[in-house]
Amino acid sequence: MPDTAAEAPRRRTVDPTVLALTAYTAVMTALAARAFLMPGESLDYLTFLDPWYRHIASHGGFHALADPGFSDYNVPYLYLLTALTYLPLPELAGIKWISILFDLALAYYTFRIVSRLRPAQPWAAFGAATVVLFLPTVVTNSGWWGQCDALYAAFLVGGIHYVLRHRPWWACTFFGVALAFKFQAAFLFPFLLVLVLVGRMPWRSLLAVPAAYLLLDVPALVLGADPWRLLTVYARQTGTYRLLSVNAPSVYEFVSAPGDTNLVRGVGVLVAGTLVSLLTALTVWSLRRGRRGLPVSGPAVPGLTDTRVVLLAACSSIVVPFLLPSMHERYFYVADVLTVLAAFALPRQLWYVPVLVQLASFGSYLKCNSAELAPYLSMPAHSALMLLALSAMVRTTAHELRGPRTASYGHAPAAEGTLPPGSPAPSASSAT
């Protein structure tokens, strides 16, 4: 039954001017914090980004991409780095401003998602975007480190936004662009697989993932780049690091393997794949347990509310890097953001989870980059914090999936998306 006037959530009125001024203040403060960190030159900048920039500048700008072998990154990020060589910007500032602009995009999509989850509470969406913008890992990743994790993360969160709006082709296109920037976008592929297996997204929409990836390779191919090198860039990356953990708060901080780690890494990948496959199968089984009169698949699959979509994405972003070997400290970046979304979706149950994730993730940043603090930081302790966060996310998500069966779409306003023909009306129950 549709919501009645008495049952519908009461929307709190907010003065648009006050909201706009508050948002402006938050953005300016966030930019000021990053500007304060701007002069810092990280080891990654000195070892990788600066030499790449200088190589591009000295080899004819975009013509340098005819042979992108000077870098171990895929070409989409190199396009942006190359564009900087044509602009009258200091090199270090330009590199960091690329990531900072995507910090803002990340906050924007966070705002849009929480606005959909909690439409009656406008300040909740603003609060979520502000929290993401000021997360220590997000601030230092772009403002000090000059890393580009915000780029692929913004497209992943944007893809989730389009999943909630029932626009699967846009969602998969965003996932494909994210994958083209960083291979770590694959951490959300189990989540994407669940959506396809329960019919929330059509199989054919997955074609947009490789299409977006390959389309972004076209400029480099036109310039003369080797197609095989472009297609195998991530295969080469996976063989670069042989350590079980590269300062990542993962399960491998509890594992000791002296000597050659290849066997342990191989077994670890197999175990991780098995566990993730099992969790994916259990999730699909839980979502497809339809009741009489309700569909077991399709956009209106029972139980697949907007809140549960966000919870599944957050689980995927923690479980996969926690179980895989040879992870880096920055590989929980998407989990840093998605656990904030999950906490705003279910604040009573999950308010502490992003705190645990941030303590583990940012602590790993400090362990890697702060010679003064590193002796006082324990990677096993950080991994234990991440394990607590993972356990809480999985437990809460499992509890939600076992909850009342509903064909709810969440509380999206009509302008955000329409129901497919023949779909049941939205439930009156709250998505939060």
Q: What is the pLDDT of residues 84-101, one digit of tens each?
A: 999 999 999 999 999 999
Cα(161)–Cα(35) distance, integer angstroms: 29
pLDDT class of 407 with cuts at 50, 70, 90:
very low
Per-residue pLDDT of 244-263, as tens digits, reads 889 999 999 998 877 778 88
pLDDT band at residue 363 under the 50/70/90 scheme: very high
DSSP-assigned states of every residue in 312-368: HHHHHHHHHHHHSSSEEGGGGHHHHHHHHHHHHHSHHHHTTHHHHHHHHHHHHHHHH
**Is the confidence at residue 345, as pLDDT, over 80?**
yes
341/172 Cα distance (integer angstroms): 20
180, 74 contact by CB (below 8 A): yes
What is residue 12's predicted lDDT score, i.e. its pLDDT? 60
CB 79 within 8 A of CB 219: yes
204 alpha carbon, distance to own chain's centre: 23
pLDDT tens, residue by residue, 76-87: 999 999 999 999
- Run of H or E residues at 246: strand 245-246
Q: What is the pLDDT of residues 126-144, one digit of tens each?
A: 999 999 999 999 999 999 9
Tell me the pLDDT tens digit for each residue of 263-312: 889 999 999 999 999 999 999 998 887 544 444 545 555 568 999 999 99
Q: How far is CA 212 from the centre of its chain?
A: 17
At 158-181, the pLDDT tens digits run 999 999 999 999 999 999 999 999
Closest CA to 237 of 89, 408, 77: 77
What is the average pLDDT score of the chain? 87
Tokens standing for residue 233? 């860039």
